[in-house]
Amino acid sequence: MRVGIIGLGLMGGSLALSLKNMPFIREVIGSDHNKEHQKQALDLCLVKQIVEFQEIKKCDIIILSVPVNGIISIIQQLKDIPKNTTVIDFGGTKEKIVNSIPHEIRENIVAAHPMTGTEFFGPYAAIEELYTDKVVVLCDLEESGEHQKKVAIQLFETLRMKISYMHAHEHDRHAAFISHMPHVISYSLANTVIRQENRNDILTLAAGGFRSMSRLAKSSPAMWEDVFKQNKGNVLEAIELFEKELKNFKQHIKDEDWVKLHKEMQDANTLYNIFS
C-alpha cells in the first residue's frame, strides 16, 4: 500500500519512521504546509518525497496528522477519493471531526486518537518507537467501511498498539480530564512562575517536581489552541472540577487542618493503584 501523511511533525513523522519497516507498505510520501518542515522531513528521510495534495489523494491510506481544525478542513476536500481509500485522522478531539465528515465519504474515514506524544514538535521530534505499546482509541468505528476497519486495525496492530473502542462524545470527555486539562494546568503553572520569579532563580531551584509538571508547557500552542476550541465544554467542566479540588487544598492549608489535608493527599495516592 502507498501511504500519504499530511502533517510531518512529531506524530506524522514518527509514524512515517515506523511505516517504513512494515512489509505491506510500499511507499510513504508526505505533505506539510510548512516549507521548513518539508525540508527537514526530506533531510531526515521521514518520507520518500514531498507531494502536492492531489497526489496524496491517490494514496491507499491517508493519515491526517495536523491540528484538529485543519483535519476538518482537509476532510471537506476529500469527497472525490476512491471508494477503497482509507483516511485515518489522528486528532486529539473526535466529536466535531466525526460530525463534520461528508456523508459520501463517511465509510472512508477512521477516527483515531493515538494516546502518545511528547512535549516536542516538528520533524526533528520524530521517534521511531513513539507508538509502540501505546493505546489508540478508535471512535464510532461502526460507521467506517469494512475495508477501512481492516486496514486501520492492521496498521495499528502492526505498530504494536493497544486498540480501544468508544464513541466520540465519550472520548472527548475522558480526554478533557486526562490530557486536555493537564495541558491547561501546565501552561498556567509555567506562566505563574515566570511572571513571579526571577528566571535565573527558576533555573537554579527548579527540580524534578516543577520540571515534570511544567513539561507539557513546551507543547505546540497552535495544536492545543485548536483542541481547546473543539472540546471547549468538556475542558471547562474539567477545569471547574479541578478548581474545586484546588480550593479544598487551599482551604485546608489556610485553616491549618492538617488531618484533612493529609486525607486529601492519601486519596490522591490511590490513583496509581489503578496502574499497578
Q: Which domains does the chain have, with CATH numbers?
A: 2-166 (3.40.50.720), 171-273 (1.10.3660.10)
41 phi/psi in degrees, rounded to 5: -60, -40
pLDDT at 203 (0 to 100):
67
pLDDT at 120: 84
pLDDT per position as a tens digit, 214-264 = 889 998 898 899 999 999 999 999 999 999 999 999 999 999 999 999 999
pLDDT at 202: 74
Angle between helices 232-254 and 168-175 (to 10 degrees): 30
| Predicted local distance difference test score (pLDDT) of residue 241 | 97
Distance, in Å, from the CA atom of 152 to the CA atom of 215, rounded to the nearest integer, reads 31
Residues with Cβ within 8 Å of 49's Cβ and at least 6 positions away in sequence, in order, are 29, 30, 42
Whether the pLDDT of residue 201 is over 80: the answer is no
pLDDT more than 70, % of the chain: 99
Mean pLDDT, all residues of the chain: 93
The predicted pLDDT at position 210 comes to 82
pLDDT, tens digit (0-9, with 9 covering 90-100), for 62-85: 999 999 999 999 999 999 999 999
Q: Which residues, other chains included, contact 78 with Cβ-Cβ below 8 Å and sequence gap of 6+?
A: 57, 62, 87, 105, 108
Q: pLDDT-based confidence at 276, cuts 50/70/90? A: low
Query: H-helix or E-strand containing 3?
Result: strand 2-6
pLDDT, tens only, 124-156:
999 989 999 999 999 999 999 999 999 999 999
DSSP 161: P
> Which is nearest to 96 in space by CA: 176, 169, 20?
169
Residue 193 pLDDT > 90: no
CA dihedral angle for residue 49, residue 50, residue 51, residue 55, rounded to 10 degrees: 50
pLDDT band (50, 70, 90) for residue 91? very high
At 27, the pLDDT band (50, 70, 90 cuts) reads very high
Q: What is the pLDDT of residue 194?
A: 85
**7 conformational bin, left if phi > 0, alpha if psi -120 to 50, beta if neither:** left
Residues 163 and 54 sit within 8 Å (Cβ to Cβ): no
Q: For 103-122, what is the mean pLDDT?
A: 93
Question: What pTM was computed for the model?
Answer: 0.88
Question: So what's the pLDDT on residue 209?
Answer: 81
